């Protein structure tokens, strides 16, 4: 998916201005890419609709950089589709016991994730107890014990002769008597969703007060993960999903679909077999991952307050003709602030970096910007347009006018000169190959 989308966006970027037809064509390719990534058809359809509604029409038409706009919209909609915000597992106060039941198909990663999750909760100061409720596979109990031991977390087991319901009940009692405050039930799975498994899970839920039922799904199963989520949610009710084996899934299609189809948040993602390989789920990061363009995504964020293209062009012209004055400087400073600072922008341009960047760091901090603005506003229009006429007596007057030390005025003038010089050096800023804007 990533490669595909990157190609799509590469095309967009090299095109500069987009027509409505271009947007449509691009979205068609995005659609194909998503379907190939195993995103459920229903979700893709919905997704395309919301993106199209936003992309075709005013937003894109008035935005003078449509390529940026489309990328931004696709990204935003991807994030929205996955729930927008990070969801934490809801825990009872530390004085009470929170019971978490892990459910899912065989091999999804329940036992591993049970231990991983316990580790996370332990590091947050909780005292978890793991309950071995999978009595069908003898190895499952041992697997849980080994994983618990590795993290210094107690595992409660009654062998394989007791029913999972009894084990769950006894585990909660055990936790109570030991002042433990989280019980995680590692239950059994089957190869396919079946009645017997569901019944057993329902029975556990009836026997002990389960606060959180967490479905563990293998991300590699793609579209199937969505069906499984819907089934479990329907039959026993789930509160959240943990998506495992994302380290092996370059597509991320499951993450995209699950929230949209069953309305349950993805809480964590499994990123490997090690017990530390459990990460919080961030919809925005997942969107970047799916789009496969971390750098571009940060650019998009910066582009949210993107420059007005005409103004930028005007600015370029002025710089070219060395007519760059303080009004322009002020404006460019404001625009750059919106785009994450001058150094941020420069670092995205070819040929920039190192010492040139260092010189400019800190120039855009907000306070300095406000002060600079005050100084510039104390200049006469003539002074702003022709900075070269600034002599000591003018500077003194300006400093007095806005209540700053004359050194501040000098500093600003120096910065201005530097910027003017710099801007002339940046190929894109003075025509060149279309400059930074052409990159999209």
Which residues are documented as binding site for GTP?
A: 104-111, 186-190, 244-247
Q: Residue written as tokens 């022709």? A: 386
| Residue 16 contact among ligand GDP, Mg ion, none, beta carbon within 5 to 8 Å by kind | none
| Residue 108 contact among ligand GDP, Mg ion, none, beta carbon within 5 to 8 Å by kind | ligand GDP
Which strands, in side-by-side order, build the sheet including 154-156? Answer: 154-156, 128-132, 182-186, 98-103, 212-218, 240-244, 266-270, 278-280
| Residue 107 contact among ligand GDP, Mg ion, none, beta carbon within 5 to 8 Å by kind | ligand GDP
| Residue 104 contact among Mg ion, ligand GDP, none, beta carbon within 5 to 8 Å by kind | ligand GDP
For residue 221, the 8-state DSSP code is G
Task: Give me the phi and psi of 386, to 5 degrees please.
Answer: -125, 75
- Smaller CB separation from ligand GDP, 67 or 109: 109
| Residue 53 contact among Mg ion, ligand GDP, none, beta carbon within 5 to 8 Å by kind | none
For residue 239, the 8-state DSSP code is S
Q: CA 172, CA 181: separation in Å to the nearest integer?
A: 9
| Residue 89 contact among Mg ion, ligand GDP, none, beta carbon within 5 to 8 Å by kind | none
Q: Which two tokens stand for residue 94?
A: 């530390």
Q: Which two tokens stand for residue 5?
A: 């989308």
The region of 95-103, 134-142, 208-216, 352-360 touching Mg ion under the rule CB under 5 A is 134-142
Q: Which of residues 245-284 bind ligand GDP (CB under 6 A)?
A: 245, 247-248, 270-273, 277
Q: Give the one residue of 83, 164, 189, 283 binding ligand GDP; rule: CB under 6 A.
A: 189
Contact 129, 227 (CB under 8 A): no
Q: What share of the chain is helix, strand, coil (3-state, %, to 5)?
A: 60, 10, 30
Q: CA 241, CA 222: separation in Å to the nearest integer?
A: 14
- Smaller CB separation from ligand GDP, 270 or 387: 270
Q: Give the one residue of 140, 220, 307, 390 binding Mg ion; rule: CB under 5 A.
A: 140
Q: CA 411, CA 418: separation in Å to the nearest integer?
A: 11
Q: CA 438, CA 150: separation in Å to the nearest integer?
A: 54
Q: How far is the CB of 222 from Mg ion (least distance, A)?
A: 21
- Smaller CB separation from Mg ion, 106 or 334: 106
Would you call 266 helix, strand, or coil by DSSP? Answer: strand
Q: How far is the CB of 414 from ligand GDP (least distance, A)?
A: 54
Task: Give me the phi and psi of 293, to 5 degrees please.
Answer: -150, 70
Q: How far is the CB of 141 from ligand GDP (least distance, A)?
A: 11
- Smaller CB separation from Mg ion, 111 or 419: 111
Contact 103, 97 (CB under 8 A): no
Q: Give the one residue of 111, 181, 335, 343 binding Mg ion; rule: CB under 5 A.
A: 111
Q: How far is the CB of 277 from ligand GDP (least distance, A)?
A: 6
* Binding pattern for the stretch 102-131 against ligand GDP, x by CB under 6 A and - elsewhere: --x-xxxxxxx-------------------
Name 132's bridge partners.
186
Question: 362: part of which helix (H) or strand (E)?
Answer: none
Q: How far is the CB of 193 from ligand GDP (least distance, A)?
A: 13
Q: How far is the CB of 349 from Mg ion (least distance, A)?
A: 52
Q: CA 157, CA 135: separation in Å to the nearest integer?
A: 9
Q: How far is the CB of 195 from Mg ion (least distance, A)?
A: 20
Residues that bind ligand GDP (CB under 6 A): 104, 106-112, 189, 216, 244-245, 247-248, 270-273, 277
């Amino acid at each position: 998916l990533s490669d595909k989308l990157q190609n799509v966006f590469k095309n967009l970027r090299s095109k500069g201005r987009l027509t409505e037809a271009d947007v449509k064509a691009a979205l068609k390719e995005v659609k194909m890419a998503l379907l190939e990534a195993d995103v459920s058809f229903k979700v893709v359809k919905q997704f395309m609709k919301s993106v199209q509604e936003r992309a075709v029409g005013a937003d894109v038409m008035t935005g003078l950089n449509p390529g940026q706009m489309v990328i931004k919209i696709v990204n935003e909609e991807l994030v929205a589709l996955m729930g927008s915000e990070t969801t934490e597992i809801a825990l009872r106060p530390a004085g009470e016991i929170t019971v978490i039941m892990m459910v899912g198909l065989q091999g999804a990663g329940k036992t591993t994730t049970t231990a991983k999750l316990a580790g996370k909760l332990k590091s947050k100061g909780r005292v978890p107890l793991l309950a071995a409720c999978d009595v069908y596979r003898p190895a499952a109990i041992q697997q849980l014990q080994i994983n618990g031991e590795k993290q210094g977390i107690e595992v409660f087991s009654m062998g394989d002769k007791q029913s999972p319901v009894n084990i769950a009940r006894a585990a909660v009692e055990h936790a109570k008597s030991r002042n433990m405050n989280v019980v995680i039930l590692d239950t059994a799975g089957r190869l396919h969703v079946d009645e017997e498994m569901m019944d057993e899970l329902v029975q556990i839920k009836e026997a002990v007060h389960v606060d959180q039922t967490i479905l563990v799904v293998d991300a590699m199963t793609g579209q199937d993960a969505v069906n499984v989520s819907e089934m479990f949610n329907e039959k026993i009710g789930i509160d959240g999903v943990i998506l495992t084996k994302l380290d092996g899934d370059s597509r991320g299609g499951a993450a995209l679909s699950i929230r949209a189809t069953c309305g349950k948040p993805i809480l964590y993602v499994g990123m490997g077999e090690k017990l530390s390989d459990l990460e919080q789920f961030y919809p925005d990061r997942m969107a970047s991952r799916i789009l496969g363009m971390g750098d571009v995504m940060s650019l998009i964020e910066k582009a949210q307050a993107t420059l007005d293209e005409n103004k930028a062009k005007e600015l370029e012209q002025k710089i070219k003709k060395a007519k760059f004055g303080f009004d322009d400087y002020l404006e460019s400073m404001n625009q750059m602030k919106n785009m994450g600072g001058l150094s941020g922008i420069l670092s995205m341009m070819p040929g920039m970096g190192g010492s040139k960047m260092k010189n400019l760091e800190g120039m855009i901090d907000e306070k300095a910007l406000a002060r600079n603005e005050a100084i510039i506003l104390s200049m006469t229009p003539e002074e702003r347009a022709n900075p070269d006429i600034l002599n000591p007596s003018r500077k003194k007057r300006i400093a007095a006018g806005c209540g700053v030390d004359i050194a501040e005025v000098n500093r600003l003038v120096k910065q201005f000169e530097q910027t003017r010089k710099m801007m002339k050096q940046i190929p894109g800023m003075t025509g060149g190959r279309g400059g930074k804007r052409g990159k999209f």
